[in-house]
Structures are given as structure tokens and as C-alpha cells.
Amino acid sequence: MILTRFEFRQIRIQAEVEYPSECCGVVLVRNGAPGERLLLPCRNVQDEFHAKDPEKYPRDSRTAYHLDPQNLLRIGRLEGDGYRVRTIYHSHIDAGAYFSETDKKNALLQGEPLYPEAAYVVVSVVEGKVKAAAAFVWNPEVRNFVPLELPALPL
């Protein structure tokens, strides 16, 4: 399961509250414990990176996201406790729910997916309201991310 209805509701709330900045976060699951899931909303620090070095980080939080290093540390600790990243999500501001070239670039390291088993969910937020959501997964046969049908989620 990519997202439960509860998780999607929480992500929708986060995306609308953080508009006009992109929101971001992860869902982790623990192996060996059915139903043990953890939704971890993360802080988007893209504006801070942009302010410190606009040449290296030309985009602000309206068009990009960068997970807070403290969130990344927490994710790493949770992985050490047996959790694995199941879903990585973020929003697109006043744009569609698609997997952009930047999304793809950020999901890969030397051409390989950082989280090959994770689904990537993109939420479209238009004028402050979630309008659509789409999911994408790594397909090793085509060596690319492909759309994955999401169950009907409440928008």
C-alpha cells in the first residue's frame, strides 16, 4: 500500500497549509510488523539554501524542495530501527501532479534509484487546494520511473 486514506488526508492538509511552498515527507514501514507505518512530514529548507547560495540553488520553495537535514537524520535512525522508506511525497505548486526531470534527477544517484522499492507521490496544489495526486515507481526494465495507479483518494 502506497498511502492509506488517513496518510493522504494528512499529506493533503500539509500541502495546503504549506502552500505556496512545496511540502515534502515520507512514509516508512517496519518489516515484520504488519500495519506498522509512520508518516513523517518533513520541513522544506529550499528557501534557506536559496538564500545562502542562489547560484547553486536558483530555485526557491515554490518550485523545489530540499528535506531538512534533521529530517534526513531521523529517517536514517528509523531505518536503523527496521523501518524502510515506502513512499516519498512532495507537492507541485500551481502545476500538475507529474514526475518532473528534476524529481527524477533527485531520486537517482549515478543512474540508480536511491530507494528502488519506494513510490514517489506528487500532489498538485492549485490556488491553495489539492487538485490531483499521482504516483510513480522505478521500473528496472525500462530504467525509468513509470506511473502507478493510485486507489481513489479523497481530494
Fold type of domain 5-148: Cytidine Deaminase; domain 2 (3.40.140)
Contact 28, 40 (CB under 8 A): yes
pTM more than 0.85? yes
Q: What is the pLDDT of residues 68-107, one digit of tens each?
A: 999 999 999 999 999 999 999 999 999 999 999 999 999 9
Mean pLDDT, rounded, of the chain: 94
Q: What is the CA radius of gyration of the chain?
A: 15
Where does the pLDDT of residue 29 fall: very low under 50, low under 70, confident under 90, or very high at 90 and above?
very high
pLDDT above 90 as % of the chain: 92
Where does the pLDDT of residue 1 fall: very low under 50, low under 70, confident under 90, or very high at 90 and above?
confident
Q: Domain coordinates of the chain in residue numbers? A: 5-148
